């Protein structure tokens, strides 16, 4: 019975809701300009934090807010290398001792082969 009632409708394709007697959330429009001169507007919620940069819709470059300045670059830590992490766990003397042990094992294996 339910199938007959829905026959002929395009479920999911058409919304049966209307905009009468509804209030939209407050919005703000923010203008951005990219380095290639493209200018566009982004609509955001009124209470949203407005970012200083946005990806350009035309070329994908980083666009800056029209009334803003470039954000300050954050000071980051230098990348840790494998050697840095190794030196956190062991001293040079420990490493020399491990190297001597491994060389002795390799030399013992070569003596048996020969």
- Whether CATH 2.20.28.270 fits 27-65: yes
Which residues are annotated binding-site positions for Zn(2+)? Answer: 34, 38, 56, 59
Q: pLDDT (tens digit, 9 = 90+) per residue, 50-78?
A: 998 899 988 888 899 988 776 677 788 88
The band of 102, judged by pLDDT with boundaries at 50, 70 and 90, is very high
The band of 7, judged by pLDDT with boundaries at 50, 70 and 90, is low
Task: Please tell me the distance from the alpha carbon of residue 76 to that of residue 68, in angstroms, as a whole number.
Answer: 23
Distances (CA, A) of 68 to 44, 55, 64: 16, 15, 7
Task: Please tell me the distance from the alpha carbon of residue 55 to that of residue 41, in angstroms, as a whole number.
Answer: 12
Q: Is the pLDDT of residue 94 over 80?
A: yes
Which residues are annotated binding-site positions? Answer: 34, 38, 56, 59
């Amino acid at each position: 019975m339910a199938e007959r009632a829905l026959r002929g409708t395009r479920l999911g394709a058409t919304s049966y809701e209307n905009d009468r007697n509804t209030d939209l959330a407050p919005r703000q429009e923010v203008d951005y300009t990219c380095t290639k001169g493209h200018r566009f507007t982004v609509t955001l919620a009124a209470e949203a934090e407005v970012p200083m940069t946005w990806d350009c819709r035309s070329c994908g470059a980083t666009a800056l807010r029209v009334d803003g300045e470039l954000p300050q670059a954050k000071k980051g830590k230098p990348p840790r290398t494998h050697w840095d992490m190794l030196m956190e766990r062991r001293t040079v003397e420990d490493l020399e001792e491990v190297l001597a042990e491994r060389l002795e094992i390799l030399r013992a294996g070569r003596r048996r082969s020969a």
